[in-house]
């Protein structure tokens, strides 16, 4: 028997999020929540949904991996010629969402997006496994290809080309930083009366408000 989607539900039972538990600025709270997710989540706690918008106003959403956080923002890497890269070139704004199932928590982030420096992109690229480095060359991300064999042939050719030397970072591949203007922390609570604390950056200062669930 097929499940009734409308009947799929769970009650949230973990601790709440009160103003007394929240700092005046959001980055330290994110660091705490992220570390707790690393400690308890079973699979890729750095997975997040990234939303961009194209030139016609159509939103696009996909799952990526967060690869860094610093006081300036949240860092991820991709092909600059991919769909998301072209969309960010047209409209350098984005939103990302983290969902940590085991902790019954969500974090939403919105803001401007900028490319990280070439040195930052180089450092991360050369820290990757060699297969991933070659994959950045082998895949014309978001482009139509005739079949899987195109990727496999590209990879084989690259393996032969760089058999004795490490591959350089492709100029079309690198990092972005989402510079946050809004960060919302969502903690599941019983009876759907969830806690939502939202931080907004205004004139260089963070303000914090509570939103109804």
Give the active site residues: 192
Backbone phi, psi, residue 164, to 5°: -110, -5
Cβ density class 156-178: b for 16+ within 10 Å, e for less: eebeeeeeeeebebeeebbbbbb
Burial class from Cβ neighbours inside 10 Å (0-12, 13-18, 19+) for residue 179 reads middle
C-alpha 183/C-alpha 200 separation (Å) is 7
Q: Is 125 annotated as a binding residue?
A: no
Q: Is 196 annotated as a binding residue?
A: yes
Q: Is 67 annotated as a binding residue?
A: yes
Q: Is 106 annotated as a binding residue?
A: yes
Q: Is 2 annotated as a binding residue?
A: no
- Whole-angstrom CA distances from 131 to 44, 59, 72, 127, 128 are 19, 31, 30, 11, 8
Q: Is 77 annotated as a binding residue?
A: yes
Q: Is 169 annotated as a binding residue?
A: no
Q: Is 172 annotated as a binding residue?
A: no
Nearest to 190 by CA among 9, 8, 14, 6: 14
Q: Is 63 annotated as a binding residue?
A: yes
Q: Is 84 annotated as a binding residue?
A: yes
C-alpha 212/C-alpha 88 separation (Å) is 31
Q: Is 128 annotated as a binding residue?
A: yes
Q: Is 102 annotated as a binding residue?
A: no
Are 200 and 206 in contact by the 8 Å Cβ rule? The answer is yes
The DSSP secondary-structure symbol of 103 reads T
Tokens of 53: 């918008």
Q: Which residue has tokens 């539900």? A: 9
Could you tell me which residues are annotated as the binding site for substrate?
9-12, 67, 124, 128, 132, 192-194
Question: Residue ranges for the binding site?
Answer: 9-12, 62-67, 77-78, 84, 106, 124, 128, 132, 141-142, 186, 192-194, 196
Q: Which amino acids are annotated as binding site for FMN, given as ranges? A: 62-67, 77-78, 84, 106, 141-142, 186, 196
């Amino acid at each position: 028997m097929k499940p009734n989607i409308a009947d799929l539900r769970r009650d949230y039972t973990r601790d709440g999020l009160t103003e007394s538990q929240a700092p005046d600025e959001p980055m330290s709270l994110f660091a705490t929540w992220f570390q707790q997710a690393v400690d308890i989540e079973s699979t890729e706690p750095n997975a997040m949904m990234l939303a961009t918008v194209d030139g016609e106003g159509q939103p696009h959403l996909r799952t990526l991996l967060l690869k860094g956080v610093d006081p300036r923002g949240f860092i991820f890497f991709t092909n600059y010629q991919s769909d998301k890269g072209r969309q960010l070139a047209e409209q350098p704004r984005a939103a990302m969402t983290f969902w940590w199932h085991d902790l019954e928590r969500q974090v939403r982030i919105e803001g401007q997006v900028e490319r990280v420096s070439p040195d930052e992109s180089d450092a991360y690229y050369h820290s990757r496994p060699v297969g991933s480095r070659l994959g950045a060359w082998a895949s014309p991300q978001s482009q139509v290809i005739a079949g899987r064999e195109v990727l496999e042939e590209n990879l084989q050719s690259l393996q032969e080309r760089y058999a004795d030397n490490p591959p350089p970072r492709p100029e079309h591949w690198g990092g972005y930083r989402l510079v946050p203007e809004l960060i919302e922390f969502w903690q599941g609570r019983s009876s759907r009366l969830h806690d939502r604390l939202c931080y907004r950056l205004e004139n260089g200062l963070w303000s914090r408000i509570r939103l109804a669930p």
